[in-house]
Amino acid sequence: MCRWMAYQGDPVYLESLLFEQEHSLIHQSLSARKSEVTVNADGFGLGWYDEREEPGLYHEVLPAWSDSNLKSLAKHIKSGLFFAHVRASTGTATNRSNCHPFSYKNWLFMHNGQIGGYEFLRWQLDRLIPEHLYNHRHGATDSEVIFLLMIANGLEKNPESAIEITLAQILDMMKQKNIKDPLRFTAVLSNGEDIIAVRFSSDNHAPSLYCKKFEQHIVIGSEPLDHCGDSWTQVPAGHIAHIKNNAYQIKALPELLKMTA
Amino acid sequence: MCRWMAYQGDPVYLESLLFEQEHSLIHQSLSARKSEVTVNADGFGLGWYDEREEPGLYHEVLPAWSDSNLKSLAKHIKSGLFFAHVRASTGTATNRSNCHPFSYKNWLFMHNGQIGGYEFLRWQLDRLIPEHLYNHRHGATDSEVIFLLMIANGLEKNPESAIEITLAQILDMMKQKNIKDPLRFTAVLSNGEDIIAVRFSSDNHAPSLYCKKFEQHIVIGSEPLDHCGDSWTQVPAGHIAHIKNNAYQIKALPELLKMTA
Amino acid sequence: MCRWMAYQGDPVYLESLLFEQEHSLIHQSLSARKSEVTVNADGFGLGWYDEREEPGLYHEVLPAWSDSNLKSLAKHIKSGLFFAHVRASTGTATNRSNCHPFSYKNWLFMHNGQIGGYEFLRWQLDRLIPEHLYNHRHGATDSEVIFLLMIANGLEKNPESAIEITLAQILDMMKQKNIKDPLRFTAVLSNGEDIIAVRFSSDNHAPSLYCKKFEQHIVIGSEPLDHCGDSWTQVPAGHIAHIKNNAYQIKALPELLKMTA
Amino acid sequence: MCRWMAYQGDPVYLESLLFEQEHSLIHQSLSARKSEVTVNADGFGLGWYDEREEPGLYHEVLPAWSDSNLKSLAKHIKSGLFFAHVRASTGTATNRSNCHPFSYKNWLFMHNGQIGGYEFLRWQLDRLIPEHLYNHRHGATDSEVIFLLMIANGLEKNPESAIEITLAQILDMMKQKNIKDPLRFTAVLSNGEDIIAVRFSSDNHAPSLYCKKFEQHIVIGSEPLDHCGDSWTQVPAGHIAHIKNNAYQIKALPELLKMTA
């Protein structure tokens, strides 16, 4: 499983979240507490918003803890809305094109989870990507194809519906192919204004998703960034968290709840 | 344009061809004589046959001349049939999944050229790849899709026909999309026993392809490896060279000649 | 020879200088006009000042033109004083520790040139580095040792004298070892406030150094960034350019002139 | 702590030891059983002997488990004497110049351990390297400087004495600098004919060193390669193992025993 975090609030240097927390993402990448896979060393990525319309992106195949550039960038880049992701590959190659977050225009997307039986579905899934989006298929991951399908399904106009349609589409295809492995999907999306985080699984093991409100900002992540796990809210499976203006709201997505085992 | 060379003959250390020629591929990667693009520094690759059934593969994104591993590998790997390729990207990313040679079972393939208007055709071309071959689509290049289509079109049984069918298929699709840019294609294939090299273009600028017979071996390449260009035979466009047991034969492929402008 | 540029002026996105000039550094890295070596693909680096005391740093071993991160960073990082450098190795390995610019506290340094016979002098030169600076010796280049010697020789208090003492020290050592190859040295230094650029060679082939004043900024570089070379001032060998507050001054360093052939 | 293994015996494909053991080095690099540090993802390296006088070398900064080249090389390279090493950095940068094994002429060296207070000793240690060996100082690790000092102290003529002199020299310097941290040193050396492995620490925590004789070969390693740890012989601290012609002998080095706490 991958690990990730996202921040919304007063602009801060990225290092304050990436390095200076007691259980920061960089520390997490070396050893896990609440996740099954021990090491997240198969590439990492950053996406951040500033005054420009499209987000900044940084992808690297080295382990996050040994990338000297990351230390300097995190010390000099300031943002009020950013994503960070450390990858543990579930099969596809370690190269930059397979690193999260993925971007499209002003949108960022990152993901933890897995489409069960992806190797038997790649052909079908890629064929669902419409022609006008196909040149945005840079890598070979399930994560990227989910993102492109969400865009095809109206992400820019109605994210909640795009999420529901896309997951239903994938589950349907898994059913046709008689795949028994689950679809696990915890994802974070942003258009540069607000953040949407979804937690879902077709079985009862949805990848974890935590939120915490601080005075001037909100942090969400695959794990708490400190050891006071109690002060973090776990988003229930089948739910969505909507983060805007230093506040978050959690609500159920009825279609997702229906699709849960 | 990319550059490449292939060797068939008595087993030799790779360095004797890759480094020790006056106009070796590694020197070529820094500066060109007969090719339009100056620098081939967007990744490189080796493929070689030995006692194992499947060929060995080495891909790197650094420029070939600055990869310390390549120097040592070329000094220690011995082969009687090998391929080497230095890439100048025509648009897709510099990552290992996009480096030549590509492999499938006991087959190797590498390529110099370009599908005109590839960015408008990727969607259509990927859809031609049959389901059982789709997990061999690791990168995003036109080269890889051509190779997979050749396999789909019977490469293992009848290479010449597979080449003709595949190029016709692509030209047909280019026509449908009203693409005016040419399909330029010089490629080398091997099953580990013999080598097939093809030279083709839909206009009259097919990428160059040279052969030379030495006492104990044959070399083919995008350029002569020495400065006595005269002693190298240029394969005509629309023709195929077949290399086996230290000899080569050149013959026309009538279907290819028909498709040439 | 390496290539480089430095900027001082109103804060701008790095891309406006790195990518958007007709003869930008990234274009230069692929082909040369005024420099002997064709390709600068042995690593590159950025250093930039912002609100933090120490400069930001980014080093990469890929060719600058094929690094997807560089494109995004240059689009999102804004600075009023920055350095960029593309390397053509003169012998030492292509790794990040050997990439310019080098940093020390609030200082940046980058360099084009070569200590003649460096392979015979490395032992002596490294022994001149004082103990308290030795852990700043990360790589193996002549450039880094020159920078550390300048610091040892009082760079922070009196840059001009530090430059003169250091070059004299190196020339002296070359003489002792009876080295006939020249010491060629064009370098750029900054403390985050102003920029100092030096041009020197012990023979009459000092690496080039150009300045140009624009309305709101100054650019210096190993080559003009546009094709109107006439509007750029070439700094004479043995001279120093001092850039501050959108103006530059050129003056001779008498000790350097004495050391020129 | 780093991890490593070495093989002497009938020539085999490297994959049979690197990948196909139940507790192979590649598996170990992801999770530890007998070592303190969890993850060995800060670069790795191979060194192997074949018909050529100097050993082959392969160094990479990616984690060993995600390097696609390693899989193919290990499947195609055959050797009767080879070294493999996965690194967990104790401070110096992750780059190829810092990856084990290190080589000199026909010699290979790799190491697990640490010079206590190395950051306070680097200046002194580098000054002990004689001038004629200094251009072999490619990186910045303590491991490389120990190797170069051993060569300076007569490794090629008398390895045991070179080991004793070098460790005594380093301990002496640590004493002068009043460093309390231990010198821990488990190392493997070969001239292409036989292998010498040493286990030492100035405290009583020498890094582990195991040997096992199989029918046609000997394996030594920082850990057993299978889960029958009982069948592996742990070399005692202060001892040396000498491997030749499919047999190993363990003996005490009296000078090392004296230097142990």
Question: Model confidence over D81-121: pLDDT tens digits?
Answer: 999 999 887 777 888 888 999 999 999 999 999 999 999 99
- The more confident residue out of C5 and B226 is C5
pLDDT in tens, B200-231: 999 999 999 999 999 999 999 998 888 777 88
CB nearest B58 (choices: D50, D72, D96): D72
Q: Are B188 and B110 in contact (CB under 8 A)?
A: yes
State the pLDDT at residue B33: 43
Predicted local confidence at residue B2, as pLDDT: 86
Phi first, then psi: give them for residue A64, nearest 5 degrees: -55, -35
CB atoms within 10 A of CB D120: 18
Residues of chain A neighbouring D26 (CB-CB closer than 8 A): none
Query: Which one is predicted more confidently, A91 or D78?
Result: D78
Mean pLDDT over D214-225 rounds to 92
pLDDT over 70 (residue C161): yes
Give the pLDDT confidence score for residue A39 in this predicted structure: 72
pLDDT for A208 equals 94
Interface mutation target, options C61, C128, C133, C135, chain D, most CBs of D under 10 Å: C135
A19 or B36, which is more confident? A19
pLDDT on residue C90: 72
Asked if D72 is an interface residue toward chain B (Cβ–Cβ < 8 A), one would say: yes
Task: Please tell me the predicted confidence (pLDDT) of residue C136.
Answer: 96
What one-character-per-residue DSSP string does B144-203 give? HHHHHHHHHTTTTT-HHHHHHHHHHHHHHHHHHTT--S-EEEEEEEE-SS-EEEEEEESS
What's the pLDDT at D51? Answer: 95
DSSP 8-state class, residue C236: P
Residue of A134, A142, A144, A177 for testing the chain B interface, max B β-carbons within 10 Å: A134
Contact (CB<8Å) A89/D68:
no
Tokens at residue B191, please?
A: 């099953």
Tell me the shortest Cα–Cα distance from C36 to chain B, in angstroms: 13
Chain B residues whose beta carbon lies within 8 Å of the beta carbon of residue C66: 41-42, 61, 89, 93-94
Closest CB to A135 among B122, B134, B139? B122
Whether A155 and A162 have beta carbons less than 8 Å apart is answered as yes
| Run of H or E residues at B73 | helix B68-76
Q: Residue C88: its pLDDT value, please?
A: 81
CB atoms within 10 A of CB C157: 8
Question: How much is the pLDDT for D261?
Answer: 67
Range C146-167 average pLDDT: 98
At residue A243 the predicted structure's pLDDT band, cuts being 50, 70 and 90, is very high
- Flag if C123 and D138 touch (Cβ within 8 Å): no
Residue B25: pLDDT band with limits 50, 70, 90: confident
Chain C: list its partners (3+ Cβ pairs within 8 Å).
Answer: A, B, D
Mutate to test the interface with C, among D118, D125, D134, D142 (most CBs of C within 10 A): D134
ipTM summary value: 0.92
The alpha carbon of residue A104 and the mean position of all alpha carbons in its chain are separated, in whole angstroms, by 14
A65, closest residue in chain D (CA to CA): D42
**Residues of chain A contacting C50 with CB distance shorter than 8 Å:** 76
Contact call for D38 and A39, based on CB within 8 A:
yes
Q: Do C96 and D96 touch (CB under 8 A)?
A: no
Quick one: pLDDT band at residue C38, thresholds 50, 70, 90?
low
Report CB contact under 8 Å: B69, D77: no
C181 vs C92, C115, C141, C144, D29, CA distance in Å? Answer: 18, 8, 17, 20, 47
C183 closest CA partner among C163, C197, C210, C159: C163
* Residues of chain A contacting residue D66, judged by C-beta atoms under 8 Å apart: 41-42, 61, 89, 93-94
Contacts for B34 with CB less than 8 Å, ≥ 6 apart = B208, B222, B223
Mean of the pLDDT values across residues B144-169? 97
Q: What is the pLDDT of residue B75?
A: 97
State which residue of chain A sits closest to C70, comparing Cα positions.
A58
Distance of alpha carbon C212 from alpha carbon C196, whole angstroms: 14
CB contact set of C230 (below 8 Å; sequence gap of 6+): none
Q: Which residues of chain B does A140 touch, with a Cβ-Cβ cutoff of 8 Å?
A: 97, 137-139
- The CATH superfamily of B3-259 is Aminohydrolase, N-terminal nucleophile (Ntn) domain (3.60.20.10)
Q: Which amino acid is at D140?
A: A
d(CA A111, CA A170) in angstroms, rounded, equals 15
For residues A62 and A95, the answer to whether their CB atoms sit within 8 Å is no
Tell me which residue in A50, A59, A60 faces C76 most closely, judged by beta carbons. A50
A133 vs D: CB within 8 A: no
Question: Would the CB atoms of C126 and D138 count as touching at under 8 Å?
Answer: no
Max distance between CA atoms of chain D, in angstroms, equals 49
First to last CA, chain D: 20
All residues of chain C having their beta carbon less than 8 Å from the beta carbon of residue A73 are 56, 58, 73
Residue C179 CA from chain centroid, whole number: 24
Of B19, B43, B6, the C-alpha closest to B192 is: B6
Task: Count how many pairs of residues, chain C against chain D, have C-beta atoms within 8 Å.
Answer: 38
| A225 within 8 A of A219, measured Cβ to Cβ | yes
CA distance B64 to C128: 35
Range of weakest confidence among B56-70, C175-189, D177-191: B56-70
**Which whole number is the average pLDDT over B88-115?**
90
Distance from CA of C60 to the nearest CA of A (A): 8
Q: Among positive and negative, which fits the CA dihedral D91, D94, D95, D98?
A: positive
- At a CB cut-off of 8 Å and minimum separation 6, what does D175 contact? none
Which residues are CB-neighbours of C45 under 8 A, at least 6 positions away? C57, C58, C59, C60, C83, C84, C85, C87, C99, C100, C101, C110
Neighbours of C120 (CB within 10 A): 18
pLDDT at C33 over 70: no
Q: Could you tell me if D32 lies within 8 Å of chain A, comparing CB atoms?
A: no
What is the mean pLDDT of the segment spanning B41-53?
Answer: 93
Torsion angle of C-alpha atoms A48, A52, A58, A59, degrees rounded to 10: 100
Interface partners of A (3+ CB pairs, < 8 Å)? B, C, D
Per-residue pLDDT of C111-151, as tens digits, reads 999 999 999 999 999 999 999 999 999 999 999 999 999 99
Gap between the Cα atoms of B182 and D237, Å rounded: 70
Residue of D nearest to B49 (CA): D76
Per-residue model confidence (pLDDT) at position A88? 81
A69 CB within 8 Å of a chain D CB: no
Answer yes or no: do D68 and B59 touch at CB < 8 A. Answer: yes
Percent of chain D whose predicted confidence (pLDDT) is above 90:
76
Q: Verify whether the Cβ–Cβ distance B140 to A97 is below 8 Å.
A: yes
The mean pLDDT of A158-176, rounded to a whole number, is 97
How far is it, in rounded angstroms, from Cα B215 to Cα B139? 39
| DSSP secondary structure of chain A | --EEEEEEEEEEETHHHHTSSTT-HHHHHH--SSSS-S---S-EEEEE--SSSSPEEEEESS-GGG-HHHHHHHHH-EEEEEEEEE---SSS--SGGGPSPEEETTEEEEEEEEETTHHHHHHHHHHHS-GGGGGG--S--HHHHHHHHHHHTTTTT-HHHHHHHHHHHHHHHHHHTT--S-EEEEEEEE-SS-EEEEEEESSS-PPP-EEEE-SSEEEEESS-SSS-GGGSEEPPTTEEEEEETTEEEEEE-HHHHHH--
Helix (H) or strand (E) holding B223: none
Q: In a mutagenesis test of the C interface, which of B62, B67, B98 is the best target, namely the one with the most C β-carbons within 10 Å?
A: B62
Looking at A166-175, A176-185, C14-23, D146-155, which range is the least confident one?
Answer: C14-23
Token look-up 């880094």 returns C144
Q: How confident is the model at residue D31 (pLDDT cuts 50, 70, 90)?
A: low
As a whole number of angstroms, the distance between CA C196 and CA D225 comes to 58
Optimal mutation site among B26, B28, B37, B39, interface C, most CBs of chain C within 10 A: B39
For chain C, the residue count is 261
